Structure 1
Amino acid sequence: METSKPGCGLALDNDKQKPWLGLMIGNSRLHWAYCSGNAPLQTWVTDYNPKSAQLPVLLGKVPLMLASVVPEQTEVWRVYQPKILTLKNLPLVNLYPSFGIDRALAGWGAGLTYGFPCLVVDGGTALTITGFDQDKKLVGGAILPGLGLQLATLGDRLAALPKLEVGQLSRLPDRWALDTPSAIFSGVVYGMLGALQSYLQDWQKLFPGAAMIITGGDGKILHGFLKEHSPNLSVAWDDNLIFLGMAAIHHGDRPIC
């Protein structure tokens, strides 16, 4: 079943409600948010190319907060004079130098919104699992190929297999498939759900009652599948964790409980 947000949110300042843009440069796409104060009002996704991307009309007119896991793409957007976020901007403990800024921002946003300890599952190109304890210290995590990447790899690397896409998944697939596409969906989906169930159950043992949140491009479909596959796991779905983390840095806000 899905958890609701606890009564612990971000402290708001009426003087800080001016609009700003957030940009998270992911492994394959650009993730945008139009925000007012601490609230992401609208989010959307574009490709890497600024000429073909649906650029926000306010770009260059309001503050731009940028985080990136692709350094060469960061350079493309410097013309808009963004504030570029790094791990040094985050008050999290035990982060190693190559730790992804996307994982850190999502963890910070999750902790401020749902409370620490928290576990974040980010269903992007790569699926990441990241846990923080009550002292905002990184417990650790895991990285594995995301749903789309697994499907694409099978289709690209094996001549006899079709190339399938996540968008073709409208429901939890049959486990025991009777055709090749269904067999691919079964293996990829149930393999990922089995891995997630194992990590989530172990997290519950380490931190009983702690928050567990799914986010990311494929996160919503994974959340739905997980609710059906493992209904006893209490996991929330929140697509704005990275931008909530950005907002807290942008305004220097802290949680109020």
Structure 2
Amino acid sequence: RALREVFNTEVYIVGEHFTVPIKNRYFSPRQVGQDRLVCAYMAMRLYGAPVISVDLGTAITLDIVSKDKAYLGGIILPGLGLSLSALTAHTALLPKVAPDRAKSLIGRNTRQSMLSGITFGFGSMVDGLIERLKKELKGSPKAVMTGGDSLLLEPYCGKVDYFQPDLILKGMARLTRNFLKNT
């Protein structure tokens, strides 16, 4: 409603006004977030299927599209900022640290150590999950990285095939254009 009032324009909502054109094989299809479907759909449109979309935001999601172009589901983890906030909130001596690139694997002070854990640790985790997913899926899936923290984590992820920081925005633009063309 606020967008409609501020910009004096019609607002269209994915899942309400139009749906993401992808077969959804999630056990409970209504539980999967529309952002995850848009991300997986656009990764498939740009890079083919099978594909793994890796979205780095408040949460980290890895979403899988099968070789027959169906959304299978994925993995959800806490994001970098959320993880750093949890460390600060639930430990006595760890300071508040904003996500940033680590300069070396071995931190020489607490801030550097926390940044090393977040960047190298999450980069290794994403790489490990991509590797496991590629083994489980048939057809050599490509991995596409996107999201707000993708610019930060990209140098630490060696198993990502494509880097597209604004994949969801591109997907939303494409879906909205298609919707408006057909109305």
The TM-score, its normalising length taken from structure 2, stands at: 0.82
2:173 partner SS: helix
Which amino acid letter does the alignment assign opposite residue 136 of structure 1? K
8 Å contact from structure 2 (residues 37, 71) kept in 1: no
The aligned length equals 171
Runs of 4+ with deviation above 4 angstroms: none
Matched, 1:222 2:153: yes
> Which residue of the other structure, out of 144, 147, 162, is the alignment partner of 1:236?
162
Which amino acid letter does the alignment assign opposite residue 247 of structure 1? A
Return the structure number with greater helix share: 2
1:84 partner SS: coil
Which amino acid letter does the alignment assign opposite residue 64 of structure 2? G
1:121 partner SS: strand
Find the counterpart in structure 2 of residue 104 from structure 1.
37
Matched residues in 2 for 1:207 and 1:179: separation?
Answer: 44
Which amino acid letter does the alignment assign opposite residue 128 of structure 1? T
Find the counterpart in structure 2 of residue 60 from structure 1.
8
Matched residues in 2 for 1:234 and 1:85: separation?
Answer: 27
Distance 1:126 1:234, change over 3 A: closer
Shift of residue 208, structure 1, vs aligned partner = 4.5
Q: Runs of 5+ in structure 1 lacking a partner? A: 1-49, 62-80
Q: Which has the higher contact order (CA 8 A, sep 6+)?
A: 1
When the two chains are superposed, the root-mean-square deviation of aligned CA atoms in Å is 2.3
Find the counterpart in structure 2 of residue 86 from structure 1.
15
Return the structure number with greater strand share: 1
The TM-score, its normalising length taken from structure 1, stands at: 0.60
Shift of residue 244, structure 1, vs aligned partner = 2.5
Percent identity of equivalent pairs: 29
Find the counterpart in structure 2 of residue 75 from structure 1.
none
Matched residues in 1 for 2:92 and 2:54: separation?
Answer: 32
Matched residues in 1 for 2:154 and 2:162: separation?
Answer: 8
